[in-house]
């Protein structure tokens, strides 16, 4: 094994190097020995060093083979610590199922954070909470309100499923190599009781995706549904509005009306 690991750009390797930030992160995560804790992208172990002491049976998913070897060696005294050499985007999180739900933590490579969030949402019933380092811009999209430029598909779908809490603003200087962007360490907790419930979440996803693909168009022209459903919707929602003007609850309402219309046509 090469003892000197050179950061790989293609794996988004900007390692945490700021002790004060690392301590804050560890304190916010508040890991215990009972947790079903999975770290995504442990790298050289900046967070793992602390997490594995608090939760010795934690597991990690790392795509870089060289780092996997390094981590196995570094934490060999923790007999229950497992590091899986795999891609977090191709991971079936049901494989980590146990009596307690999953707590996922990671200083994520920026290029995987959005697809990873959508993938995790597809298995959300497994999740207790997420603590992710995200590009500031992505974190802003997660908490964005309607009528803002950050508001879009990611905001609606994530806010439908999670309570989102930005915890720490992290400057580029906290990483090595230093990235071009600012970061926000963010907590996402699935709603125990959703503020609004979609009868069919697949349909909600389709509608939100379709609408934001035609962001500038008014709903009447961007909604991909039969004329009869549009007529029903017209009574409930002002279809001259644009997708970015609608709240999460509005999207759920549209999705539920279209769903009921479809069901009644069966």
Rounded least distance, CB 159 to ligand SAM, Å: 25
Which range of residues in 81-89, 146-154, 155-163, 237-245 is near ligand SAM by CB under 6 A?
A: 81-89
Span near ligand SAM by CB under 6 A; candidates 11-19, 29-37, 124-132, 209-217: 11-19
Q: Measured from the CB of residue 101, what is the shortest distance to ligand SAM in angstroms?
A: 20
Nearer to ligand SAM, 47 or 223 (CB): 47
- The rounded distance, in Å, linking the Cα atoms of 84 and 239 is 49
Q: Which helix (H) or strand (E) holds 261?
A: helix 248-265
Question: Going by C-beta distance under 8 Å and a sequence separation of 6 or more, which residues neighbour residue 74?
Answer: 45
Q: Return the range that interacts with ligand SAM (CB under 6 A); candidates 55-63, 134-142, 221-229, 240-248.
A: 55-63
Q: Which of 19, 59, 174, 194 is nearest to 121 (CA)?
A: 194
Which residues fall within 8 angstroms of residue 49, CB to CB, at 6 or more apart? none
Q: Are 70 and 136 in contact (CB under 8 A)?
A: no
Chain residues 23-42 in contact with ligand SAM, contact rule CB under 6 A: 40-42
Cα–Cα distance for residue pair 128/100, rounded to 1 Å? 8
CA 35 to chain centre: 19
Tokens of 18: 């700021």
Provide CB contacts within 8 A for 189, sequence distance 6+. Answer: 128, 129, 130, 162, 163, 165
Q: Could you tell me if 266 and 241 are in contact, meaning their C-beta atoms sit under 8 angstroms apart?
A: no
Which of 181, 197 has the CB closer to ligand SAM?
Answer: 181
Site track 110-139 with ligand SAM (rule: CB under 6 A), x = hit: --x---------------------------
- Least distance (Å) from ligand SAM to the CB of residue 68? 9
State which residue has the least CB distance to ligand SAM.
Answer: 41
Q: Rule CB under 6 A: is residue 12 a binding residue for ligand SAM?
A: yes
Residue 64 interacting with ligand SAM (CB under 6 A)? yes
CA neighbor of 205 nearest in space, from 190, 180, 220, 224: 224
Nearest approach in angstroms of CB 72 to ligand SAM is 14
Which run of H or of E encompasses 129?
strand 127-135
Name the one range near ligand SAM by CB under 6 A: 60-68, 70-78, 139-147, 252-260.
60-68
Q: Is 46 in the site for ligand SAM (CB under 6 A)?
A: yes
Binding site for ligand SAM (CB under 6 A): 11-16, 40-43, 46-47, 61-64, 67, 87-89, 107, 109, 112
């Amino acid at each position: 094994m090469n003892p000197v690991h050179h950061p790989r750009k293609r794996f988004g390797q900007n390692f945490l190097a700021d002790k004060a930030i690392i301590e804050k992160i560890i304190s916010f995560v508040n890991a215990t020995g009972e947790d079903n804790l999975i770290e995504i992208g442990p790298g050289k172990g900046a967070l793992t060093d602390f997490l594995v002491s608090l939760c010795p049976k934690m597991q990690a998913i790392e795509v870089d083979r060289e780092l996997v070897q390094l981590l196995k060696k570094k934490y060999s005294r923790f007999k229950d610590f497992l590091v899986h050499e795999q891609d977090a985007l191709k991971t079936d999180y049901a494989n980590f199922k146990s009596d307690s739900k999953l707590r996922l933590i990671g200083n994520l490579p920026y290029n995987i954070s959005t697809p990873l969030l959508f993938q995790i949402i597809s298995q959300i019933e497994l999740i207790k909470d997420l603590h992710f380092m995200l590009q500031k811009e992505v974190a802003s999209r997660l908490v964005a309100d309607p009528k803002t430029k950050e508001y879009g598909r990611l905001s609606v779908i994530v806010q439908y499923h999670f309570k989102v809490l930005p915890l720490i603003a992290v400057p580029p200087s906290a990483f090595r190599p230093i990235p071009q962007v600012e970061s926000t360490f963010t907590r996402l907790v699935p709603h125990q009781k959703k503020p609004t419930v979609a009868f069919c979440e697949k349909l909600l996803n389709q509608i939100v995706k379709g609408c934001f693909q035609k962001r500038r168009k008014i709903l009447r022209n961007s909604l991909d549904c039969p004329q009869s459903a549009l007529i029903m919707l017209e009574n409930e929602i002002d279809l001259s509005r644009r997708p970015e003007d609608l709240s999460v609850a509005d999207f759920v309402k549209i999705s539920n009306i279209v769903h009921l219309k479809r069901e009644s046509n069966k």
